[in-house]
Amino acid sequence: MFVKHAHELDGSVPAARRVVVVGSGAVGMYTATELARRGREVVLLEAGGLALGRFDPESYRCVGRAHEGVESGRSRTLGGTTNLWGGQLSEFDAIDLGARPVHPEGWPIPFSELTRFYRTTYEALGIPDAVQRDEDVWKAVGTETPRLGSGLDVFLTRWLPIPSFALWARDELENRTNLRVLTDHTATGFGGTGARVEAVTVVDRAGVPHAVAGSTFVLAAGTIETARLLLHSAESSAWQAPWRGNPWLGLRFQDHLGGRIAAVHPTDSKRFFKTFSNLLVARRKYQPKFQLDGEARAANAVNVHGMFAFESSISENLVYLKQFVKSAVYGRQIGGLRSLAANVRASGRYLIPLMWTYAKDHRIFEPSTSRISLFVQMEQIPQDDSVIRIDPSRLDRTGLAQAVVDWRVDGREIAALRDFALRTDRALREEGLARLEIDDELLQGDPAFLERLRDTNHQSGGAIMASSSSDGVVDPDLRVFGTDNLYVVGAATFPAIGAANTTFPALAFATRLVEHIGSADAA
């Protein structure tokens, strides 16, 4: 249930029984609701309110390589960035966590320790067992998994029907008496004794500080704010934070590089569209993507995911209609009916084939005149000098030091990207599906091409997981080194990011953490 002010928490539940979760984005909201479902007393803290909001400009700045997502890819709102995204879920695989050229040391846990939580996470998100495996989804639309010749594997990403986690968890947020939600209160530091955190300090809208006590603390504030809060609290003179002096704090800030790398010219349009247009099964969307096969990826410097984008003269009209329907279904504010009528008229002649394609083929209709492009999402080589710092001389209105994001990219990623483009072109030609018109700068292997790729709002690192404090910030159980009861969950803990979207793996780690906290408290 919602609580309007921090003082309303006093005496509601003994601090010795309370789990405090900082941040209400995908990972924080999921962690809080899963703990509450298991009977734990939970307080969920959110710096923003119920209306969509952004971070104050004085709270961050970028140096080094431009990073648009620091401004446009974050939301200071209940539900966090899930109010901005499309709800796409993608899995890590064994190569992502293993030792490989891009990350020789590998992750400090085996891949099996992550995948054993995939099914539980899918089910908690409302994705049934029948569509958790790609082959079952393809079977549901009457076909087998497409083959792209030698060297490429096709896979599916899953899209949540309700992207906003604030809407997804609305009933529990409003009605669960053991889940208390405190909005418009910004976490600014921690207090404790020795290795034990005893309270998190929050500042309300009036600028008044309060202490929220608890037995266990979970920091799920997003990559940048997580590093910022840990760095800022380490500077405090009120308490000698155990993570003070950890040299890894803020290091290895990463994001995926994404953008267009080639034009696509189908040679068998019907088969191409059937292979790569989005699937719709049980009112859920599935997007076909592809990557190099296991052997090629293991030998390559970085992993790359490819996807085809279809653009037509009515693309914007169809997007508007989709957003209009979602707004009506989920109770959001709906735009003017005049705009609705205009978009229906513009896309009118495609409405029947659109509905027919959905009903007959379980596909999202793409006009045959669409312009097709190959887009990629690529991991970067982890860089120790790609960092999140703080500037104590610049404080925001809550007294938090400004976050300084210094994003850096190695440049050697260009060879892997060129290899991916050439392999894709060869496979498409072998299958008689299409040919690529690859960008000349990429064909030449010029690292300058990477400057044309942007970040993809998959901010990671800054509090990476490791076996010891000499190599990272949190241990394999996600506990901050030196503490007894402070955990970090989310992509901030990822030492390398593969090519998959980071949200689903982060949620799987949250499922694992929920189990760990429960077993630890029961012991």
Residue of higher predicted confidence among 522 and 429? 429
Average confidence (pLDDT) over 273-300: 87
Q: Residue 332: what pLDDT? A: 45
Extents of the domains making up the chain: 1-125+161-252+384-407+460-523, 126-159+257-311+366-378+411-455, 313-365
Strands 179-182 and 41-45, by their bridges, are parallel
Q: Residue 324: what pLDDT? A: 46
- Assign residue 47 a region (left: φ > 0; alpha: ψ between -120 and 50; beta: otherwise): alpha
pLDDT of residue 149 exceeding 80? no
Residue-wise pLDDT tens digits, 102-113: 888 899 999 999
Average confidence (pLDDT) over 232-261: 95
Of 241-245, 323-327, 341-345, 399-403, the one with minimum mean pLDDT is 323-327
What's the mean pLDDT when you consider all of the chain? 89
Average confidence (pLDDT) over 213-231: 97
Give percent above pLDDT 70 in the chain.
Answer: 88
State whether residue 439 is helix, strand or coil: coil
Give percent above pLDDT 90 in the chain.
Answer: 74
Residue-wise pLDDT tens digits, 381-393: 999 999 999 999 9
Average confidence (pLDDT) over 359-382: 77
Q: Residue 136: what pLDDT? A: 94
> Which burial class, exposed, middle or buried, applies to 254 when counting CB atoms under 10 A from its CB (0-12, 13-18, 19+)?
buried
Q: Residue 448: what pLDDT? A: 95
Phi, psi of 227 (to 5 degrees): -65, -40
Q: Residue 312: what pLDDT? A: 65
pLDDT of residue 6 exceeding 50? yes
Q: Residue 148: what pLDDT? A: 81
Average confidence (pLDDT) over 333-338: 49
Average confidence (pLDDT) over 428-457: 96
pLDDT of residue 15 exceeding 90? no
> Residues 273, 288: contact at Cβ < 8 Å?
no
- The topology under which CATH files domain 1-125+161-252+384-407+460-523 is FAD/NAD(P)-binding domain (3.50.50)
Q: What is the dihedral of CA 449, 497, 502, 464, to 10 degrees?
A: -130
Residue-wise pLDDT tens digits, 482-513: 999 999 999 999 999 999 999 999 999 999 99
For residue 348, what pLDDT band results from cuts at 50, 70 and 90? Answer: low
Q: Which residues contact 435 (CB under 8 A, 6 or more apart)?
A: 264, 265, 267, 425, 428, 429
For residue 1, what pLDDT band results from cuts at 50, 70 and 90? Answer: confident
Q: Residue 353: what pLDDT? A: 47
